[in-house]
């Protein structure tokens, strides 16, 4: 066991990460793999999911399980595929998400539905599918963990016309607290990591239009959220150190929501 594995205490744990082929999900997946966990990543894009898993196999155990979390059939197939490989699940990281931006007068119902179907409905019903596997791994001293990726824009007033996105993330934050209360008896914790501005595809247009310096102005720590920030928060919640934390919303935003 190396120093990282000993410190994090997730060696040998089974971990499923949705939206794990790029961005925040990929950063979290890489850290879990390097810490000695058995990692499964899912993404709607089967090719990119398989490619990401292949790259991560250079560091340890990772397997691709392509899935559109907003699809009932895909969620059921994902759960069945995972059950065929693992008797239980230690950590579920719900990172898959969608955003839709449009002026209020033009905001489409289809865009609203796409965002909520993935960010809230899909996440909830995937958790429902996997609770039996999470419960099978859980003990009072070492609970199973649900880690949902929320948003600082579920806490503060958003700056852009992405109406469904912050509303869906606020719903996810509250849903997480509700699940934490309901699942505690089964020794399953549920928490949220709420990132700040992250250099993702979602942010590319804002960076090109305003420039990074302008975007950093309201951030007390004067930088964007990094891969390591999100991965570290997820590892903390999944580790021995995070075993007594549940129902929490951890802002990883450089102080933006202060």
Q: Is residue 192 very low, low, confident or very high in pLDDT (cuts 50, 70, 90)? A: very high
- pLDDT tens track for 200-247: 766 676 777 778 888 898 899 999 999 999 999 999 999 999 999 999
Please name the helix (run of DSSP H) or strand (run of DSSP E) that holds residue 144, with its range, or none: strand 144-149
Query: Is residue 203 exposed (0-12), middle (13-18) or buried (19+ Cβ within 10 Å)?
Result: middle
Question: Beta strands 61-64 and 91-94: pairing type?
Answer: unpaired
DSSP notation for 153-174: GGTS--SSS-THHHHHHHHHHH
Evaluate if residue 8 carries a pLDDT over 70: no
Q: Which residue among the candidates 40, 107, 163, 165 is catalytic per the annotation? A: 165
165 is catalytic: yes
Residue ranges and CATH numbers for the domains of the chain are 67-252 (3.40.50.720)
Comparing 218 with 116, which gets the higher pLDDT?
Answer: 116
């Amino acid at each position: 066991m190396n120093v990282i594995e000993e410190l994090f205490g997730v060696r040998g744990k089974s971990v499923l990460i949705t939206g794990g082929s790029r961005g925040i999900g990929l950063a979290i997946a890489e850290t879990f793999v390097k810490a000695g966990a058995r990692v499964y990543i899912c993404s709607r894009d089967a090719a990119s999911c398989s490619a990401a898993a292949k790259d991560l196999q250079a560091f340890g155990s990772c397997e691709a399980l392509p899935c559109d979390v907003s699809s009932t059939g895909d969620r059921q197939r994902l759960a069945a595929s995972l059950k065929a490989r693992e008797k239980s699940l230690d950590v579920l990281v719900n990172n898959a998400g969608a955003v839709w931006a449009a002026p209020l007068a033009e905001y489409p119902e289809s865009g609203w539905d796409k965002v909520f179907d993935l960010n809230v409905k899909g996440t909830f019903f995937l958790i429902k599918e996997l609770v039996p596997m999470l419960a099978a791994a859980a003990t009072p001293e070492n609970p199973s963990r649900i880690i949902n990726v929320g948003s600082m824009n579920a806490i503060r007033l958003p700056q852009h016309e992405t109406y469904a996105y912050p509303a869906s993330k606020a719903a996810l934050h509250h849903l997480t607290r509700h699940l934490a209360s309901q699942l505690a008896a089964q020794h399953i914790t549920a928490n949220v990591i709420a990132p700040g501005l992250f250099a993702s595809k979602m942010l590319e247009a804002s960076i090109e239009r305003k420039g990074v310096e302008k975007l950093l102005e309201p951030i007390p720590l004067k930088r964007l959220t990094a891969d390591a920030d999100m991965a570290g928060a997820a590892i903390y919640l999944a580790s021995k150190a995070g075993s007594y934390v549940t129902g929490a919303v951890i802002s990883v935003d450089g102080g933006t929501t202060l």
